[in-house]
Structure 1
């Protein structure tokens, strides 16, 4: 017999865990299926805007217990050596996914949630319920399924999502380091074919994560050769790597990153976090967006199950409206900025304009960030 639950969440990353914690503490029965055991590293910039702090505290998941770095300033550099700096309008903090995901998982378990380490192979919607099958040949039924499995998955092929059919030229590389890096700073360094973000996380570690065009990357025999021949053309990146010692045996990577449009609802599954949309890393706000999307989803589902939203169609429509209201313009800005920064000439022109008009950079940052997620009981 299938195991029954109110809500089944596919994927235990930041969005999935946040939604699970919110729903479980609000009285729902939640099962979360995650293929990997905790803790584990993920390719991620590991900077979070302070916009989500009130919400995390409301969830009894205040990240301050993890001793994150406090980040208040941003720096942007180009290959030619131009530098522009500004204070972040809201500020943020740096914490590794290795620590944060484990922390949220333990909070969820402490509230009675269930985490199952398995891989979902298929989801079917029949008679207003979901039937879920896993690779371990287990079956579950749920009143609602949430997709939070990340940037891409075999499930996307089963659901026939359009973005998964298209080739994407982007590859991301991430590792932790020890070395010299300014406190309170998140830095974004442009190079030919991509850009690299760096900031401190807990324990004075430095997270360095970059996005590269695979066509330029594959012409080099390995990551080290690519970094030395391409990233080092930006003198700031060269200095950063030369003054740092890696803490990973090898960097971790993810390929086929797609920043195109995705469906936030498909076959009645509500998508959250990167599963719903992937914002360009140069915006530095993917983690906050994942947490915010989890909150939107959880709040609407609670209204639906209480009968305050009359039916599933109305609930899904409200989710799409809310998603577009909060994220559509931010995603557009991310794509626009990425298109500019992929062209060295345009990057230099844009940076030159921001040097002459310093108010432009904080304005751009505000366009990719949201408002503080205050919570009322």
Structure 2
């Protein structure tokens, strides 16, 4: 059997997807050269974005596998190199859609990405657990999902989603790591283990701006932001940078938590955002006999839903009551969200229901161009 042509090998390399950017390596101009020997030995030259690319072995394996399956190929060798400054510049411009300078893509009029800011009145209500599970559930349903861990002081999303690799920097562009098919960025990826972040308000604003503009998110269906509790600097910055973002409020049944969560939702009245709904977490602990132990009381989620609806002037639904389960906590600690680990558990089913409810909501027309222009008579 004769060896394949160089053109055939290049065409086949279009099936190798860069694990960070999620596009074919041929489209990204990463394939430097292809050489085919008389005996079927193929040498593929690949230029990485950076010398320390954490997924170099993955690309090598995928190239070897794809080319090795071609008829007439007796062996494959991958020759790794690094892009020049000019190549990286061209790549950044291409990824930004021909725009050289970074912009927040989700704030552009033509953006179709649904953006949800997950917030709570106080800490400890499971807001990050809800965010991680919603992201994993949406990705499992085939959506392209990104998560911004905007809780700068109390970041926990990387652990909950099992992020294994640091971000890759292409000069001033950041390629976010992918975990459970979700693109993730967090300040925790840029700090030393165990070291706190001690910043004032302007630094928080700048960090969020970089997460939104300097990170290459690609074409997302949904972007989730895990906000810090309360109505401080980050919540205000999100409203300014992402005016079409919607708010999802997380509370527990406890009256004290519900009262504070209500205030976190009422901020939408001042920021002109829409509150998409309320999730009541830790609603009850199911006992072996089937009865429910309501550790944190009852009615908190319904109270927040009713009061927000009355204040904001439109219906704010209670999207789910998520029971308290030990497996939900264990899943967060091990980096495998419950919706992927135990799909039949009541908590996982409740969270999947919320994810599908949010996934099927169309983005509003506010701020979007209709593509029409006036004509003369």
TM-score, normalised with respect to structure 1: 0.27
Q: Which structure is larger by alpha-carbon Rg, 1 or 2?
A: 2
TM-score, normalised with respect to structure 2: 0.27
Query: 1 or 2 for the larger relative contact order (CA 8 Å, sep ≥6)?
Result: 1
Bigger fraction of residues in strand = 1
